C-alpha cells in the first residue's frame, strides 16, 4: 500500500508516521499492495484533525476524525475505514447488479442571496457504473458523489434527495 502524508498547519512526527503506517498495513488484507492511501493531518484551533482516504480499484474509502490528540484519532479513524471496507465487500458478494432505477429530477427555485464559497476542493473523478456510485455515496455517507459514467462517458453527479431517493445529473460540456 502506497501511503502519502500531507501536513496542513501540523508537523507530523516520524513516530506518528510509523505507528499509522503499521496500523494501515493491517488493512492490506482487504486489497493488497495496489491501494493508495492519502493521510492529511491538520491543526484546527485546539483540535487535531486526521483525514484518511484509501483508493483501491476506483473505490474510495474515507474517514475524518477531529479530537485533541492525533494518536487518539488513529484509534477512531481506522475502525470507521474497516467498517466501510467490510460493508462494501459484503455488498459485492451478496448482491448482483439490479436493473437500473429511473431517476426523477425536481427543479428548485433559486435563492435570492447566494452563500459565499468558504472551501474549495479538487479531486480526480473515477470511471464507474451508476450502481457503484450509489454504493459509494452510501458508504461515505455523503449527500452527493461525482463520477465518470462508464456507460455514457459523461460526468455524472448522484445525490441523495430529501425523500431518501437518489437523483442523477448528467453533465454535457
Q: Where do the domains of the chain lie?
A: 2-94, 97-173
What's the start-to-end Cα distance of the chain, in Å?
A: 36
The two domains 2-94 and 97-173 share their CATH topology (first three levels equal): no
Going by their DSSP bridges, the two strands 144-149 and 155-160 should be labelled as: antiparallel
- Given a cut of 80, whether residue 13 has pLDDT beyond it is yes
Contact predicate 164/150, CB 8 Å: no
**Average pLDDT of 80-89?**
87
**Average pLDDT of 86-109?**
64
**pLDDT over 90, % of the chain:** 36
Q: Cα separation of 53 and 37, whole Å?
A: 6
Distances in Å between the Cα of 40 and the Cα atoms of 3, 51, 130, 138 are 11, 5, 29, 23
- pLDDT of 171 reads 87
Q: Give the CATH number of domain 97-173; options: 3.30.300.130, 3.30.470.160, 3.30.505.50, 1.10.10.10.
A: 3.30.505.50
- Given a cut of 90, whether residue 86 has pLDDT beyond it is no
**Average pLDDT of 29-37?**
83
- Given a cut of 90, whether residue 159 has pLDDT beyond it is yes
- Residues 6+ positions from 154 with CB-CB distance below 8 Å: 148, 170, 171, 172
Q: Which of 11-20, 88-97, 117-126 has the lowest mean pLDDT?
A: 88-97
Highest mean pLDDT among 2-6, 94-98, 114-118, 138-142: 2-6
Q: Give the CATH number of domain 2-94; options: 3.30.160.100, 3.40.50.720, 3.40.120.10, 3.10.450.230.
A: 3.30.160.100
- pLDDT of 50 reads 92
- pLDDT of 95 reads 61
**Average pLDDT of 111-131?**
82
- pLDDT of 140 reads 85
Amino acid at each position: 500500500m502506497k501511503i502519502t502524508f500531507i501536513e496542513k498547519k501540523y508537523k507530523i512526527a516520524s513516530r506518528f508516521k510509523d505507528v499509522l503506517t503499521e496500523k494501515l498495513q493491517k488493512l492490506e488484507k482487504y486489497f493488497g499492495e495496489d491501494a493508495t492511501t492519502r493521510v492529511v493531518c491538520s491543526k484546527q484551533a485546539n483540535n487535531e484533525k486526521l483525514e484518511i482516504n484509501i483508493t483501491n480499484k476506483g473505490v474510495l474509502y474515507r474517514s475524518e476524525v477531529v479530537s485533541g490528540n492525533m494518536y487518539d484519532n488513529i484509534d477512531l479513524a481506522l475502525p470507521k475505514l474497516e467498517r466501510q471496507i467490510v460493508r462494501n465487500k459484503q455488498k459485492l458478494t451478496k448482491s448482483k447488479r439490479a436493473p437500473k432505477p429511473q431517476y426523477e429530477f425536481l427543479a428548485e427555485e433559486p435563492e435570492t442571496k447566494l452563500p459565499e464559497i468558504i472551501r474549495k476542493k479538487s479531486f480526480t473523478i473515477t470511471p464507474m457504473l451508476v450502481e457503484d456510485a450509489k454504493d459509494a455515496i452510501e458508504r461515505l455517507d455523503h449527500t452527493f458523489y461525482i463520477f465518470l459514467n462508464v456507460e455514457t462517458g459523461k460526468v455524472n453527479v448522484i445525490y441523495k434527495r430529501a425523500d431518501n431517493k437518489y437523483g442523477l445529473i448528467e453533465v454535457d460540456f
